Structure 1
Amino acid sequence: MALQGRVDALKAGAKPVITLEHAAEVPPVPDKPEAFSMKAFADSLPPIEQPNYFKVGFFNKKKAEQANGILRAKYEQEVEERAKEIALAKKKSEKAFDEYERACKLREAALDKLRNLEINKLNEKIERLIADDNPLQRTREEAEELEKVYAEEERIARKELERALQIRSDLYSCNVIFSKYRTLPAIASILEYLESGRCEALSGPDGAYNLYESERRADLIITKLDDVLGSLEKIKEGQHLLYSELKKANATLEKVSEQIKLLETNALNAMWGIAKNTASIAERVEEIAIDSAATAEATQSTAEASRASVALAAKNNELLNSLGYLIAFS
C-alpha cells in the first residue's frame, strides 16, 4: 500500500527522488525574468523635448524654414532611435522569456525521465511483493523501501540547508552589515528603509541602523524572530517586507507539511500491515501448531519489521526538522 501510494503520487506529478547518480542530469531551477512593460521602460528613459522652432517671417523665411527643417529632422531621428531602443528592449525581454521557458521544459523533461524510472522500479517491486507468499517479508521490504525514500529526501534537505547557510555566510563575510544586525527581522527592516527611501545609508545619524534602533526602542517594530512568527498580522503594516517574506516561507512549509503527511500515512499503513500480519501468523500458530523453529523465525521477522517502522518515524521527524530549518533560519 505504501509503495502504491508513492506510485500514485509520482503519477500525479510529485517530484521524483534525485539520486547522486542522476543529479547531473537535472538542470537547476531557472530564474524567471521580470515581465516587460513597454510603457514602464519608455517612462524610465529621458524624455525627448519638442523642438523650439524659429518663427517664420517675411524677411527670414528661407533661413527660418531651413533651420526648422534641421530641428525637425533631428527630432524625428531621436523619436526613431527611441522606438528602436524600446523595440530592442522588448526583443531582449521576449528572448529571456523564451530561454526561461526552454530551461523549464528541459528541467521538467529530466524530472519526467527520473519520475518514470522511479515508477518502473516501484512497480517491479510491487509485483515482486505480490508474488511473495510471506506477508512479513513483504511488509519488511516495503518499510525498507520507504526508509530509503526518507533517507534520500533527508539528504537532499540537508544539502539544501547547508547550501543556504553557506550563501548566508558568504554574504555576511563581506562585512557590509554590522554583526549586531545580522538577523532576519533586522535585515528585512533595514532593506525596507533603504528601498523606500527613508534612509540613504546604513550608518550615521540619519542612517538605517539609527532608525532601526529608534523604532526598536519605541516598540514600533518586532525584532525577535520568535515573536515575529507569532505576530504576523501585527507586523503587516510596520514591517511589510519581513511580513511578505515570512508569508512566502509559511506557504513553502505548508507544501512541505503536506508531503510529510503523505509519507507519514504511508509509514502508518506499513506499520498497520505489520500488525495485521503478526495477528495472522499468531492465528496460524494456534491452528496448525507449527514447530518452535518456525515460531522463532516469525517472531524475529516481526521484530525486524517493527524496528524498521520505528526507524521510519525517526527519519520522518529528522526530515521535518531539516526542511523547517531550511525555510525559517534566522
Structure 2
Amino acid sequence: MTRSDLRHEETPMTTTSTAPPARAVPRRQRRHGSIRARERRLGIMFALPATLLFLAVLAYPIFENIRTTFFSVDLLTGRTEYVGLANLRELAGDETLRSTVGRTLLWTVACLAGQLGLGLLAALLIDQPWKGMRWIRQLLLLPYVVPVIASALIWTWMLDGSYGILGSGLQSLGVVPDGTSPLGMESASLWTVIVINVWRGFPFAMLVFWASLQGIDQQQYEAAKVDGAGPLREFWSITLPNLRGAVIALVALRGIWTLMYFELIWLTTRGGPVNSSDIIPTYIYKIVMGEFRLGYAAAVATVTGLTLFALAAVVVVVRKLRRAA
C-alpha cells in the first residue's frame, strides 16, 4: 500500500446535503412586520367604538324594521300579532301607495333635474373672475344655510292666498284663483314644493360643480381655442366631460336625500290637499301616526329600502363592467 493510499483512507467521509441552507429573516424585516401587526391591532381598537355605534344606531333599527314587517302592531292598543307575509301582500293592492310611488318618482326626478341644472348655471357664473363675485357667491349660498323650517314658513307666507306677496302676484296674473294659494291646489301643490326644494338645494350642487370646474386643466381650453372652438363647443367637449364624476356623485347623494326628504313637504302641505303632494316618507308617517299601523308602515319602508339597495347595486355593477371593458 502506497503512502497516497494511506492518506486517502485517513481522510474522513463527508456527506453533501442538497437542501438549501435556511435563510434567516433579517432583524429589520421582523421588526417591520411586528410594527405593522401592532398598527393593525391599534386601528381595530380605534375603529371598534365607531363600529359599535354604527351597529347600535343604524344596523339595529334596520333589523327591527325588517322584523316588524312580519307583525301586526297596533300602537293605539299595544297589540302585536305575527302575520307573516300579510303586510307585504297588502302592498300589492294598495292603490294609494301606487299613486304615492308615482308622485315620489316625479318629485325625485324633477328636484334632481332642477337642482343640477340650476347648480351648474350658478357654478359657471361664480367661476367668472368678475368684480364683486365674492358677494354673489355668498348670496347664492343663502338658501342652503337657512333652516328648513324657516324656509317653509317664509314660502308659506309668501304664497298665501290672502296676504302673500307671491300669492297676490299669481292671482293678479290669473295663474291661480282669487284667495287661493298654490300650496292648497291639488294640481299645483306638488310642483310648488318642487320649486321650493330646487331653490333650497341648488347651492349644494353649485359648490360641487364649482370645485370640479377648478380642477379642469386650462390647457384643454387653450388647445380648443387654437383649434377654433367657440364657447358652446368648449362647454360640450371639455366642461361637461370633466363634470361627469360630479354629476354621478350628485345624482347618487341628492337622489337618496330627495327621495327620503320629509320635512319640507310636511311643513308646507302635509301631503295635501287630498294626498296630492304625498310622497313615500309622508305616506309612512301618516300610516304610523294616523292609522297606528306600525307593521304595515315597516313593510312599506322595508320594500323601499330594498329597492334603493338593489338600484345602487346595479349602478355599482354597471360602472365596474364599463371600467373593465
Q: TM-score range by the shorter chain?
A: under 0.3
So what's the TM-score if we normalise by structure 2?
0.25
TM normalised by structure 1 equals: 0.25
